[in-house]
């Protein structure tokens, strides 16, 4: 797995990556009257829907804090949604990233690795907006900000590595297998419910936990909640697994993309 070379590719083309990231953000809001305002509205609308269903209708709680309030539950859901959406956006957009831009494929000198990575950059932009909403909620409606927030970049960084690796992997396979786009829609739904966005992993049956404990999204969401919101100790073993899985998928994605890239032009 060529992790150093993949990092080097992104660094050498960092200016181009930035330009395509900005372009990707603009394209998502092109033609919309509210524009970037939707980047703030969508997380809040989704939060309201899920908190009403899982918090009020089903009486959901995370059961970590004493006297847990509805706001505690809402903030826990919001930070879980922020991390999940970072992955979900990448998975949803990646299958058609190369297919929808054949002109770049035919340019011999164009670094195609930039296209999937730019989608990740746009998703990170939306993640920061959701994160800002969480911070505001914690500061003004929750239990207050603390130094534990400094752990958040450490927890999220392997998720970004995982996202870039998945973007490369899915984008390259999507050129040859067009059905991947349909399959990823179902997969993101499964991932959402398998990542403990709306519940605590503590309520999972032991048989389910034996499999879901290897879900990096679940571990990242749970660590972010525990450390940032609940002020619980960081689980070093889960953090180590996050980094190992993130680096593994990052390297695998770049390797597959590099090997399949020469055949893109023939297929398109």
Per-residue confidence (pLDDT) for residue 236, from 0 to 100: 93
**Which residues, 6+ apart, have CB-to-CB distance to 144 below 8 Å?**
138
Structure confidence at residue 58 (pLDDT): 63
Q: Report whether 86 contacts 249 (CB < 8 A).
A: no
**Tokens matching residue 234:** 């960081």
The answer to whether 10 and 113 are in contact (CB under 8 A) is: yes
Q: Which pLDDT belongs to residue 188? A: 92
CA angle 201, 91, 234 (to 5 degrees): 35
Domain locations in the chain as residue ranges: 3-267
Alpha carbons 82 and 163: distance in angstroms, whole number: 13
Residue showing tokens 């605590």 = 200
Exposure b/e, 193-222, CB count within 10 A at least 16 = b: ebbbbbbebeebeeeeeeebeebbbbbbbb
pLDDT recorded at residue 223: 94
Q: Residue 72 has what pLDDT?
A: 83
- Give the whole-angstrom CA distance, residue 123 versus residue 86: 5
The tokens for 95 are 């299958």
Residue 54 parent element (H or E): none
Give pTM, 2 decimals: 0.89
| Of 243, 255, 246, 242, the residue nearest 1 (C-alpha) | 255
For residue 123, how many C-alpha atoms fall within 13 Å in the half-sphere facing its CB?
A: 28
Per-residue pLDDT tens, the chain, 268 aa: give them.
556 666 777 878 788 888 988 888 777 766 655 556 766 777 777 777 777 776 666 667 887 778 878 888 888 888 999 999 999 999 999 999 998 888 888 776 788 899 999 999 999 988 998 888 888 888 887 777 888 889 999 999 999 999 999 999 999 999 998 888 888 888 998 999 999 898 888 888 888 888 999 999 999 999 999 998 888 889 999 999 999 999 999 999 999 999 999 888 888 6
With b for 16 or more beta-carbon neighbours within 10 A and e for fewer, the 9-25 pattern comes to bbeebeeebeebbeebb
């Amino acid at each position: 797995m060529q992790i150093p070379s993949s990092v080097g590719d992104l660094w050498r083309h960092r200016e181009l990556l930035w330009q395509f990231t900005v372009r990707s953000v603009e394209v998502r809001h092109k033609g919309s009257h509210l524009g970037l305002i939707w980047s703030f509205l969508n997380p809040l609308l989704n939060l309201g829907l899920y908190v009403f269903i899982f918090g009020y209708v089903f009486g959901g709680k995370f059961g970590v804090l004493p006297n847990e309030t509805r706001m505690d539950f809402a903030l826990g859901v919001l930070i879980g949604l922020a991390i999940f959406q970072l992955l979900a956006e990448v998975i949803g957009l990646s299958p058609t990233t190369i297919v929808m831009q054949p002109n770049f494929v035919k340019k011999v000198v164009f670094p195609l690795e930039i296209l999937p990575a730019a989608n990740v950059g746009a998703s990170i932009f939306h993640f920061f907006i959701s994160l800002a909403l969480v911070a505001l909620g914690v500061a003004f409606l929750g239990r207050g900000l603390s130094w534990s927030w400094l752990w958040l970049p450490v927890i999220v960084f392997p998720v970004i590595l995982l996202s870039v690796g998945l973007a490369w992997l899915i984008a390259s396979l999507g050129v040859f297998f067009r059905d991947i786009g349909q399959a990823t829609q179902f997969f993101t739904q499964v991932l959402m419910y398998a990542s403990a966005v709306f519940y605590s992993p503590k309520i999972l049956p032991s048989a389910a936990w034996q499999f879901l404990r290897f879900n990096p999204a679940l571990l990242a969401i749970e660590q972010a909640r525990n450390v940032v919101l609940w002020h619980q100790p960081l689980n070093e073993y889960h953090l180590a697994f996050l980094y190992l899985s993130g680096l593994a998928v990052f390297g695998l994605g770049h390797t597959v993309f590099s090997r399949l890239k020469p055949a893109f032009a023939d297929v398109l």
